[in-house]
Copies of this chain bind each other. A is one copy, B any other.
Amino acid sequence: MCRFLAYLGEPIFLTDVVCAPAHSLVHQSMHADEGKTPTNGDGFGLGWYGEREEPGLYREIRPAWSDENLRSLCAQVRSRLFFAHVRASTGTSTTRANCHPFGLGRHMFMHNGQVGDYQRIKRRIEEMIPDHLYDHRQGTGDTEAIFLAALAEGLEADSIGAMARTLGRIQALMDQAGTRQPLRFAAAHSDGGTMTCYRWSSDANPPSLYWRQSGANVLVVSEPVDERHAGWQPIARNHALIARPGEAVMVVPFEIA
């Protein structure tokens, strides 16, 4: 299990949500409340959109809580759309290439969850990735594989439908492999314009995911960053949130196809 946050709105300094609040994401790297473990110390990452079409990425294998570069970067960078993630590995190596968010072109993706018996079906999931996208695989984890598979399913044009089909195919692979473990999925995708956050689980226990709106600013988090102050609402199980600048936030049903 990992912890993450995703922001879309007026440009703000990343530190305002990543480092500064009482229960900031950096605080959650050592003291998460709602994850499987309090410690999320197996690397971290930032992704943010600035002046370029492609997002900036800073991913590192140290724990977030002691990374001076992370603090400095969050103090300097102001962005209208960014992701941050602290990682608790479920087995894959602690390498930068396995840290979230993952980027490809103008797309970026991060994830918290589990693919039941991933090791047994890893190969089948990778087969969902066409050659031209497989060339971009740099790590070995499930999230990057899901991201590349979803791009192949049309994530660019239809972030809800493509992800539903991708998870549907993964669930089918899990069924074929006879796993009894669940597929649990909290994730965020952006193309630099739209931010889509997903919460889905094959059982009754999806990873936690909350959101809050303040004016035009939308923040989605694994755990509230400021100790349950008013305004946080859970994204319901098997729903997705879609946010675009200047439009009303939509929370829509999200079922796998």
Query: Are A39 and B39 in contact, with the CB atoms below 8 A?
Result: yes
Q: Report the count of interface residues on A (CB-CB < 8 A).
A: 46
Of all chain B residues, the one with the shortest Cβ separation from A137 is B140
* Beta-carbon contacts under 8 Å, A15-45 to B: 30, 37-39, 41-42
Q: Roughly how many angstroms separate A120 CA and B122 CA in the complex, as a whole number? A: 21
Count of this chain's copies in the oligomeric assembly: 4
Q: Roughly how many angstroms separate A175 CA and B65 CA in the complex, as a whole number? A: 32
Query: CB < 8 Å: which of B41, B61, B78, B122 contacts A39?
Result: B41
Of all chain B residues, the one with the shortest Cβ separation from A95 is B95
Query: Are A76 and B50 in contact, with the CB atoms below 8 A?
Result: yes
Query: Are A66 and B52 in contact, with the CB atoms below 8 A?
Result: no
Q: Roughly how many angstroms separate A181 CA and B30 CA in the complex, as a whole number? A: 25
Instruction: Report A148 CB to chain B, min CB distance, Å.
Output: 12
Give 10 A-B contacts (CB < 8 Å), ordered by A residue.
A48-B76, A50-B77, A51-B78, A54-B75, A59-B68, A59-B69, A77-B77, A93-B95, A97-B140, A123-B134
